[in-house]
Structure 1
Amino acid sequence: MDQIIKITPDFDYSKVDNFRTKKLEGHVTILKTGLPVADAYLINPSVYSFWKNKESFPENFHEKLEESINDILTKFQSITLRTCFRFDGFENPRALPAWRKLKKKERILESIIEAYKKGQEIAKKNKISNYGLGLILMGRVDGIKGGVMIVDIGKENLCMIDSCWGDNLLITDGESGFDTFWVDEDLKIIKEEIREKKYGYFFNGIEKVKKSIDESKVLVPSLNDQEIRKLVEYGFKGAKFHDSNVEIEFLIGEDSKIEAYELQLKHGFKLENPKLKRKSNSLVEGTSVFPGKITGNVKIIEKEEHLSKVNKGDILIVIPMDIPTFLPVVDKAAAIITDSGGITSHLATIAREFKIPCIVGTENASKILKDGDRIIFDGGRGTISTVGQNEG
């Protein structure tokens, strides 16, 4: 059994019993594309199966782990441990956290065990009996900013970049405080939204630290023109190489060095050209994630205790929360609305994968609407109206 395998462009999935997740495939894909990406190793899911049965690691695992750690740290400042959680019926790449800023073997071993226990906890909570759990050891630069970009080489031939100070978790968790740039293939910025960025997230292991951003950076674009152009070049290169729309997550260091660490193919995904968005007189507006027109009752979900009030067919207004917390009611939601976040948030990804109509970034839906309100939700247009209102 190959306990720890280096991830390469020609990665042999048969060595891991054809175990596949979007994170693993995303790393292989970005290597094939030739974009700048850190070295990474996969800890075989069979190691987790061994540990689950014996609460110890296989023979020679410690030696193989040390070899992998030493190889990564000769080129990168730290190691991130990423989780690949696969279970029957659905692969949720967002269910488990990552452990960051790791350097010592002892702490990495502790993080591996923490990840295994967290996987068991989520499986038990969601009544998942059959699942696999692999871990990726990945090198990391010390990023001062990060983000997610989507490239549409179909109708619009457009790249959209969400970026923030600190880790891109602020974006993927669906919070506010990030910038958005729309750029065409000729590297022309056709629109930018520079928002107030009062805080960012930085990490020590799994601990997420919320830090205030220096006042001089709060209203300054989080990306400079050179970084935007380079990201767009990388994005279109990846999309054309795979002949598919793509989503790429990235980090940027103090020297403007870009590290792309995941590329996912987004067949059929379409970006909305911001210049073509129509005005409406709807009660609430946001950004369309997944289309669908639905009439239903509102339920506002601000914390885990609110999940118990959700009934099948409700339209949920979700305040940012961990995806594992939200998973138990996903199949009950007729539609999803958020106040904050964009189309690159994890909740938006979940909505697309479950094909749940979704609108994000309304800013005020939870303030204007209340539990029990009956509304008309139009995911394609990104509009919300009360029953009887003229949408215009």
Structure 2
Amino acid sequence: MTADAPQVIWFEALGRGDVARVGGKNASLGEMVGHLGAQGVSVPPGFATTAEAYWRFVEANRLEDAIEGALNDLKAGKASLHETGQNIRRAFLRGDWPEATAQQIRQAYRQLSKRAGAADTDVAVRSSATAEDLPDASFAGQQETFLNIRGEAALLDACRRCYASLFTDRAISYRETKGFEHLKVALSVGVQKMVRSDLGGAGVMFSIDTESGFDKVVVLDAAWGLGENVVQGAVDPDEYQVFKPLLDDAALTPIIEKKLGGKSLKMLYATGAEQATRNVPTSKAERAAFVLDDQEILQLARWACTIEAHYGMPMDMEWAKDGDSGQLYIVQARPETVQSRKEAGALKSYHLKSKGAKLVEGLSIGDAVVTGKVCFIRSAQEIERFVDGAILVTETTDPDWVPIMKRAAAIVTDHGGRTSHAAIVSRELGLPAIVGTGNATEILHDDQEVTVSCAEGDEGFVYAGIGEFDVEPLSLDDIPKTRTAVMLNLANPAAAFRWWRLPTDGVGLARMEFVVSNHIKVHPMALVRFDTLQDEEAKQRIVELTRGYADKTEYFVDRLARGLARIAAAYHPKPVIVRMSDFKTNEYANLIGGAEFEPREENPMLGFRGASRYYSPRYREGFALECRAIRRLREAMGFSNVVVMIPFCRSTKEADRVLDVMAQNGLRRGENGLEVYVMCEVPSNVVLAKAFAERFDGFSIGSNDLTQLTLGVDRDSDELAELFDEQDEAVKWMIRTVIEAAHRCGAKVGLCGQAPSDHPAFAELLVACGIDSMSVSPDSFIAVKRHVAAAEAQGHDAQAAAPQAPAS
């Protein structure tokens, strides 16, 4: 300590080089106030007490001996962690402020109140440890924060309680684990003008996807009221995701995810003297509404990009919206400490081979699968009964739970979002977790054997019993480059970010019908004709699903556009080929409200499917919704890398009718760079390849259907399984012929199917024929890439290697 060292410093006089003086949190606030205000980032004003003030408090109250003695007793086994923390905290709370320190805090508070234009202004009092927010340690939520503090006496008491929180059980345990010396870590207190988010909303924001590490999105969580409920995981917040590369264009709205959360509680100012804040239930209208509108989401996302660019690393931020002024603020920013440091090569593919009945579902954290027995813990006080290696099931977690969480195999909670305490700590510990299930504590019980799966995308599932699964490490080292593009087949938007690190050439097949069946669930015509729908049960389900949408068709367009946007974002600016809906009539009929709009067919595989639906009076209005979604995706959201593909187009006459209907709905081939492909899965596509190439920009060979129709074999027939062979000479002739014809006309040709994954010889055939691209499943991408590279290295001559037409 030095006699003239300042004990209070205003934020604007601080920068990120001041961690030793005021801790990471306050240094970062000073950095933003001093450097980012000019770029439009709003940070509430305030000041910080310094490490010097902390050490003077410790010295004045002779706390060093008490701390050292208590920690020695802990190491010697004479006291428990709980007793140790309690004794040290009690000593702090009994301490008196040195008069000089107290006077500087009072004077700064008076100046802050004067700036705010109010006597005894309301402030947030936040702890900032001088070792926190380092690249390999987050210290997330380990010290206390106190909100709505008013008056000098209350402020000094809150600062004292912040000091004491440096020795909570979880903080002691964490420093022991990380090897930090307890008496070399000081605590600074940040005193910041409160944002009236109790009248508005607040939440957390990351400049990186917290699950996959995908670095081109901003992820935001939002709830009504003060932000502590989001941080603590006490509510299920709204979730928004924004694609960063398109944010610079003010004409675009690249919000690729808007998920409505339950938001059952909100934290408000309390009026009584006992406590400063209280939780109350939200109204039905608040639960049904998004906390932020699109422009607010975009403004926060742009701030996230500004902050990330300034710091030169992915960031974890807290934001608040003032309900009086409508103004948005950033109230905290720290480095993101998990995904940004994860090795790019640490990619594993988990595949469930068997699973029991689905018991609960929620948001998945991590991407692993774990099996084991449930241990249901109601509170951190029950820590002693936790079984090492069990699956922890509880309502929610806070920092007191960390000692239990470190011993768990997986974590399942009733409440919380992706930025809740349970989610953040699970990521740091490398544990799979499922948060926000709503009912895990009601369904799961002690000693129950379950499988926890976080390997199926954004949603995580708990299945009954011990399932079987495979784990395959995927090395991204030394993947060869190829002339032939190798792309991915993707359907599930929730899993799109999982594979972003693969060096793919884009997406060769994004199946629209998966988004419709899993994320929309309603037949589009049931939305168009909702008022005349006869099925009352279906009508009720539609009302529930379309909650918040005044126009029910907008529900379809919005959900479809955003679902496809996640796939388009993961590989932007590389091409993403979206196949328009290709359900069969029996599959359409299974959608909510679908039975009234679908004919019964003996053979749906060869019936009313693909292109034939798009211009038909039966479905034309439904196809118009698909076109609206694609147009929004490309033009309003900015994903011009999306290519449209038409499935099961039997004739050129049909092609002309479909292209005309698309044009009527604002999707005209060649306009705004729009490319339109056609699936090559009917022999007529090969026979009339030149004519189809005049109408479309490219072909995508659907090898399953093309094999089925070339050989006249039902691909689903057990009796004919031996005859279904994609490597049959007739099928090979079809493939070679369409490639040659398309290339003569300047059209591109790809193949989407499993055959190149299963049969290296088939990949060699495609290379020999000069195909432009192959599209395969993500887990087989690396193997196919190597097969293709080997075939290209052999220098196959297309004419010599390709099969000749079979004799007639």
Which bin holds the TM-score, normalised by the shorter protein?
0.7 to 0.9
Give the match's secondary structure for 2:233: coil
Residue aligning to 2:439: 364
**Separation in structure 1 between the aligned mates of residue 27 and residue 389 of structure 2, nearest angstrom:** 34
Q: Which has the larger radius of gyration?
A: 2
Residue aligning to 1:274: none
Residue aligning to 1:258: 328
> Does the 8 Å CA contact 2:394/2:440 hold for their aligned counterparts?
no
> Does the 8 Å CA contact 1:148/1:249 hold for their aligned counterparts?
yes
> Does the 8 Å CA contact 1:245/1:268 hold for their aligned counterparts?
no
Give the match's secondary structure for 1:327: helix
Residue aligning to 1:273: none
TM-superposed CA distance for 1:209, in Å, is: 0.5
1:67 to 107, 110, 121: 107
Normalising by structure 1, report the TM-score: 0.84
Normalising by structure 2, report the TM-score: 0.43
Relative distance call for 1:215 and 1:375 in structure 2 (3 A) is closer
Residue type of the alignment partner of 2:461: T
Residue aligning to 1:37: 43
2:146 to 94, 99, 104: 99
Residue type of the alignment partner of 1:83: S
**Separation in structure 1 between the aligned mates of residue 370 and residue 56 of structure 2, nearest angstrom:** 47
Could you list the per-position Cα deviations for residues 79-110 of structure 1 after superposition, in whole angstroms to 9, with x for gaps in the alignment? 11101246799662312332222231122112
> Does the 8 Å CA contact 2:434/2:454 hold for their aligned counterparts?
yes
Could you list the per-position Cα deviations for residues 278-336 of structure 1 after superposition, in whole angstroms to 9, with x for gaps in the alignment? 99974433323234333322111212332211122122113124322x13323312222
Relative distance call for 1:96 and 1:242 in structure 2 (3 A) is closer
Match status 1:339 vs 2:414: yes
2:371 to 285, 295, 316: 295
Relative distance call for 1:228 and 1:8 in structure 2 (3 A) is same
Match status 1:27 vs 2:29: yes
Of all paired residues, the percent bearing the same amino acid is: 19
**Separation in structure 2 between the aligned mates of residue 75 and residue 19 of structure 1, nearest angstrom:** 22
Residue aligning to 2:425: 350
**Separation in structure 1 between the aligned mates of residue 227 and residue 187 of structure 2, nearest angstrom:** 24
**Separation in structure 1 between the aligned mates of residue 434 and residue 13 of structure 2, nearest angstrom:** 36
Residue aligning to 2:193: 139
> Does the 8 Å CA contact 1:286/1:383 hold for their aligned counterparts?
yes
Residue aligning to 1:180: 239
> Does the 8 Å CA contact 1:66/1:105 hold for their aligned counterparts?
yes
**Separation in structure 1 between the aligned mates of residue 294 and residue 238 of structure 2, nearest angstrom:** 13
Q: Matches of residues 191-210 of structure 1 in structure 2 within 5 Å?
A: 191-204=257-270, 207-210=276-279
Q: How many residues align?
A: 382
**Separation in structure 1 between the aligned mates of residue 469 and residue 441 of structure 2, nearest angstrom:** 19
**Separation in structure 2 between the aligned mates of residue 92 and residue 37 of structure 1, nearest angstrom:** 22
> Does the 8 Å CA contact 1:319/1:338 hold for their aligned counterparts?
yes
Residue aligning to 1:2: 6
1:236 to 305, 318, 326: 305
Could you list the per-position Cα deviations for residues 51-99 of structure 1 after superposition, in whole angstroms to 9, with x for gaps in the alignment? 2342333352233112321232233452111012467996623123322
Relative distance call for 1:227 and 1:87 in structure 2 (3 A) is closer
Query: Larger deviation: 257-266 or 153-162?
Result: 153-162
> Does the 8 Å CA contact 2:422/2:435 hold for their aligned counterparts?
no
Residue aligning to 1:47: 53
2:205 to 117, 131, 149: 149
> Does the 8 Å CA contact 1:99/1:206 hold for their aligned counterparts?
no
Relative distance call for 1:85 and 1:146 in structure 2 (3 A) is same
Could you list the per-position Cα deviations for residues 347-369 of structure 1 after superposition, in whole angstroms to 9, with x for gaps in the alignment? 22222223333222223332332
Relative distance call for 1:258 and 1:65 in structure 2 (3 A) is same
Relative distance call for 1:112 and 1:265 in structure 2 (3 A) is closer
**Separation in structure 2 between the aligned mates of residue 140 and residue 150 of structure 1, nearest angstrom:** 22
Relative distance call for 1:246 and 1:79 in structure 2 (3 A) is same
Ranges in structure 2 where 5+ consecutive residues have no aligned partner = 62-94, 177-181, 247-252, 341-350, 471-808
> Does the 8 Å CA contact 1:183/1:191 hold for their aligned counterparts?
yes
Give the match's secondary structure for 2:425: helix
> Does the 8 Å CA contact 1:100/1:206 hold for their aligned counterparts?
no
Ranges in structure 1 where 5+ consecutive residues have no aligned partner = 271-277
Residue aligning to 1:170: 229
Relative distance call for 1:81 and 1:19 in structure 2 (3 A) is closer
> Where is the helix percentage greater, Structure 1 or Structure 2?
2
Relative distance call for 1:75 and 1:213 in structure 2 (3 A) is farther
Q: Matches of residues 268-347 of structure 1 in structure 2 within 5 Å?
A: 269=339, 282-324=358-400, 326-347=401-422
Residue type of the alignment partner of 1:158: V
> Does the 8 Å CA contact 2:218/2:243 hold for their aligned counterparts?
yes
Could you list the per-position Cα deviations for residues 144-189 of structure 1 after superposition, in whole angstroms to 9, with x for gaps in the alignment? 2111122238746222221111011121111235322223334333
Relative distance call for 1:371 and 1:26 in structure 2 (3 A) is farther
Relative distance call for 1:45 and 1:203 in structure 2 (3 A) is farther
**Separation in structure 2 between the aligned mates of residue 12 and residue 184 of structure 1, nearest angstrom:** 28
Could you list the per-position Cα deviations for residues 108-155 of structure 1 after superposition, in whole angstroms to 9, with x for gaps in the alignment? 112222333444454798597544322111122222211112223874
Residue type of the alignment partner of 1:179: D
Residue aligning to 2:159: 112
**Separation in structure 1 between the aligned mates of residue 370 and residue 377 of structure 2, nearest angstrom:** 19
Relative distance call for 1:38 and 1:306 in structure 2 (3 A) is same
Residue type of the alignment partner of 1:363: G
Q: Which has the higher contact order (CA 8 A, sep 6+)?
A: 1
> Where is the strand percentage greater, Structure 1 or Structure 2?
1
> Does the 8 Å CA contact 1:85/1:93 hold for their aligned counterparts?
no
TM-superposed CA distance for 1:12, in Å, is: 7.0
**Separation in structure 1 between the aligned mates of residue 159 and residue 338 of structure 2, nearest angstrom:** 36
Could you list the per-position Cα deviations for residues 365-388 of structure 1 after superposition, in whole angstroms to 9, with x for gaps in the alignment? 323321112233334443333344
> Does the 8 Å CA contact 1:47/1:57 hold for their aligned counterparts?
no
Relative distance call for 1:24 and 1:311 in structure 2 (3 A) is farther
Relative distance call for 1:391 and 1:332 in structure 2 (3 A) is closer
**Separation in structure 1 between the aligned mates of residue 407 and residue 123 of structure 2, nearest angstrom:** 38
> Does the 8 Å CA contact 2:204/2:316 hold for their aligned counterparts?
yes
Give the match's secondary structure for 1:64: helix
Residue type of the alignment partner of 1:224: D
Relative distance call for 1:242 and 1:118 in structure 2 (3 A) is closer
